[in-house]
Amino acid sequence: MIRLHPNHKKTLLKSTALCLLSGLSLPITAQAEGKLNIYCSVQNTACEKISQAFGEKYNVKTQFVRNSTGTVLGKIKTEKDNPQADIWYGGTLEPHLQAADLGLLEKYRSPNQKDIMPKFKKLMDLRGDYTSVIYVMELAIGINTKKLKALNIEPPKCFKDLLEPRFKNQIQYADPRVSGTGYSFITTLVALWGEDKAFDYLAELNKNVAQFSKSGLATNNLATGEVTVDISFMNAYLHEQEKGAPVEGILPCEGIGYTLGATSIIKGARNLDNAKLFTDWALTAEAQELHWREANSYQLPANVHAKLYPKTHFPPIANFIELDVIRFGSAQESKRLIQRWTDTTLNQ
């Protein structure tokens, strides 16, 4: 038995009391521990930086698996009785909404939603119980300027220009069956022209398409000149420019379509407290600026207090087309539109 001097007893009791009292006001960084498994649908480097920064800040052991938005949705469906991840970070909003409708997400409304752009307040009021907006991306036409010049092809200014014979076998866009980017292309066209005209356009465009990529982030095919034209988000083309590729992004004359990036907690998350903590952190300016500060990822942060990448020339968000995000985020509507795309393009 160890006997303590009376003065030591007082010191020990005092220290214990101080620890207990201070524990009530300790920052959460000191309390968090354990693990967090992330399904990530942004660029791989951004996945690494986000995972690492959160883990270091909150003393949590993190690991991630990077896949396109559509692929992650499929994994979550397959694993619904035995979830293999806690958080779904990034990727287009619509599949997150579909996952919510299918009962695949955990209910959690972060208090940090108050800092999301006012334009999306109504959306968050309606659907923010299961997912949160973390960034905005505008849909654009990407071109390889060097290859266009070599082929003596005038750059496109509009989506409709891509139907012209000069672009035969020169175009790539993401397969909407597995990519949220591809689905965003469909929803943008439907919002611009109505459904029938949009699918008439896609049927004609298919004559000039060289390939469908598995991810909207597959812009390396454009950078290397494997394709001359790509349809994805402007931030992806800025990323290729920063690497020195002869790539430019063009906002189509018909109007600026866009998508929202989201983060959600997966139903049955094994590390639920850390998943909630991650969600709160992902909505901060610190986390959203990390994309461009450390990961060469140039989405527009949704947090009104976050700073933009200095070279970003983001158009006023008031000029974006009107998108019925809730309609297009419906699992039933998505399934129907993607099936029509399959019938219009792959089965012709």
pLDDT digits (tens, 9 = 90+) for 277-321: 999 999 999 999 999 999 988 899 999 999 998 877 667 776 789
Q: Is the pLDDT of residue 229 over 60?
A: yes
Q: List pLDDT tens digits, range 18-27.
A: 333 333 333 3
Torsion angle, alpha carbons of 194, 198, 199, 204, to 10? 150
Q: How do residues 97-107 score in pLDDT, each as one tens digit?
A: 999 999 999 99
**pLDDT for res 15:** 37
Is 0.75 topped by the overall pTM?
yes
Find, among 96, 263, 73, 70, the residue nearest to 181 by Cα. 70
* pLDDT value of residue 329: 85
Q: Are 241 and 247 in contact (CB under 8 A)?
A: yes
Q: What is the pLDDT of residue 5?
A: 44
Task: Please give the structure tokens belonging to residue 250.
Answer: 């063009």
Task: Determine the Cα–Cα distance for residues 153 and 253; give it in Å rounded to an integer.
Answer: 18
Which pLDDT score, from 0 to 100, does residue 153 have? Answer: 95
Position 59 scores a pLDDT of 97
pLDDT at 75 over 90: yes
Note the Cα 293 to chain centre separation in Å: 17
| Sign of CA pseudo-dihedral 325, 327, 162, 69 | positive
Predicted pLDDT at 74: 94
Q: Is the pLDDT score of 249 beyond 70?
A: yes
User: Which band of pLDDT confidence, cut at 50, 70 and 90, is reported for residue 32?
Assistant: low
Least confident of 28-32, 154-158, 344-348: 28-32
pLDDT of amino acid 331:
83
Give per-residue pLDDT as tens, 93-149.
988 999 999 999 999 999 999 999 998 999 999 999 999 999 999 999 999 999 999
pLDDT at 348: 64
pLDDT, the chain, mean: 88
Contact 175, 214 (CB under 8 A): yes
210 token code pair: 């060289």
Sign of CA dihedral 328, 329, 333, 336: positive
What token pair was written down for 305?
């207090």
Give me the pLDDT at residue 18, please. 34
Measured CA distances, 74 to 69, 77, 98, 342 (Å)? 9, 5, 11, 17
pLDDT for the residue 214: 83
